[in-house]
Amino acid sequence: MDVLGKEHLHDSREFLSLEEMPDRLVFLGAGIISLEFASMAVKLGKTVTVVAHGDRSLRQYPGEYNEKEAEAAFVID
Protein backbone atom coordinates (compact mmCIF):
# COMPACT_ATOMS: atom_id res chain seq x y z
CA MET A 1 0.00 0.00 0.00
CA ASP A 2 1.53 3.32 -1.03
CA VAL A 3 0.24 5.64 1.69
CA LEU A 4 2.00 8.50 3.43
CA GLY A 5 2.92 7.29 6.92
CA LYS A 6 2.57 3.60 6.04
CA GLU A 7 5.47 2.79 8.35
CA HIS A 8 2.98 3.33 11.18
CA LEU A 9 0.47 0.77 9.83
CA HIS A 10 0.42 -2.69 11.43
CA ASP A 11 -1.64 -5.80 10.91
CA SER A 12 -2.77 -7.99 13.81
CA ARG A 13 0.43 -10.08 13.88
CA GLU A 14 2.61 -6.98 13.91
CA PHE A 15 0.46 -5.40 16.63
CA LEU A 16 1.16 -8.34 18.93
CA SER A 17 4.89 -7.92 18.29
CA LEU A 18 5.14 -4.19 19.05
CA GLU A 19 8.00 -3.55 21.46
CA GLU A 20 6.33 -0.41 22.75
CA MET A 21 2.66 0.55 22.58
CA PRO A 22 2.06 4.04 21.13
CA ASP A 23 0.12 6.51 23.28
CA ARG A 24 -2.53 6.92 20.57
CA LEU A 25 -3.86 4.22 18.27
CA VAL A 26 -6.39 4.04 15.45
CA PHE A 27 -7.99 0.72 14.55
CA LEU A 28 -9.52 0.34 11.11
CA GLY A 29 -12.56 -1.88 11.36
CA ALA A 30 -14.87 -2.78 14.22
CA GLY A 31 -14.75 -6.54 14.10
CA ILE A 32 -13.91 -8.82 16.99
CA ILE A 33 -10.12 -8.64 16.54
CA SER A 34 -9.99 -4.84 16.24
CA LEU A 35 -12.20 -4.39 19.29
CA GLU A 36 -10.21 -6.91 21.30
CA PHE A 37 -6.95 -5.12 20.52
CA ALA A 38 -8.57 -1.73 21.11
CA SER A 39 -9.82 -2.83 24.52
CA MET A 40 -6.33 -4.08 25.43
CA ALA A 41 -4.87 -0.69 24.50
CA VAL A 42 -7.55 1.17 26.50
CA LYS A 43 -6.78 -0.96 29.57
CA LEU A 44 -3.13 0.04 29.15
CA GLY A 45 -4.20 3.68 29.34
CA LYS A 46 -3.81 4.48 25.64
CA THR A 47 -6.06 6.76 23.60
CA VAL A 48 -7.95 4.67 21.06
CA THR A 49 -10.05 5.54 18.01
CA VAL A 50 -11.96 2.85 16.11
CA VAL A 51 -12.89 3.69 12.52
CA ALA A 52 -15.77 1.54 11.33
CA HIS A 53 -17.70 1.14 8.12
CA GLY A 54 -21.38 0.78 8.83
CA ASP A 55 -23.76 1.69 11.59
CA ARG A 56 -22.43 -0.56 14.37
CA SER A 57 -19.52 -2.65 15.52
CA LEU A 58 -19.47 -6.44 15.59
CA ARG A 59 -21.97 -6.60 12.75
CA GLN A 60 -21.67 -10.38 12.53
CA TYR A 61 -23.38 -10.70 15.95
CA PRO A 62 -26.99 -9.93 16.92
CA GLY A 63 -27.55 -6.23 17.68
CA GLU A 64 -28.51 -6.59 21.34
CA TYR A 65 -25.48 -8.78 22.06
CA ASN A 66 -23.00 -6.59 20.24
CA GLU A 67 -24.10 -3.36 21.94
CA LYS A 68 -23.50 -4.87 25.38
CA GLU A 69 -20.17 -6.40 24.39
CA ALA A 70 -18.90 -3.27 22.65
CA GLU A 71 -19.75 -1.15 25.70
CA ALA A 72 -18.17 -3.67 28.10
CA ALA A 73 -14.96 -3.82 26.05
CA PHE A 74 -14.15 -0.21 26.85
CA VAL A 75 -15.02 -0.07 30.53
CA ILE A 76 -11.92 0.74 32.54
CA ASP A 77 -11.80 -0.68 36.02
2 pLDDT more than 60: yes
Name the band, by pLDDT with cuts 50, 70 and 90, for residue 71. Answer: low
Answer with the residue of higher pLDDT: 3 or 51: 51
pLDDT digits (tens, 9 = 90+) for 11-51: 888 988 989 999 999 998 888 888 889 989 999 999 999 88
Residue-level pLDDT at 73: 58
Q: Compute the distance between CA of residue 17 and CA of residue 2 in angstroms, rounded to an integer.
A: 23
Q: What are phi and psi of 66, to 5 degrees?
A: -70, -35
Strands (E), 1-77: 24-28, 47-51
62 Cβ contact list (under 8 Å, min separation 6): none
Global confidence as pTM:
0.72
Q: Compute the distance between CA of residue 32 and CA of residue 39 in angstroms, rounded to an integer.
A: 10
Residue ranges and CATH numbers for the domains of the chain are: 21-73 (3.50.50.60)
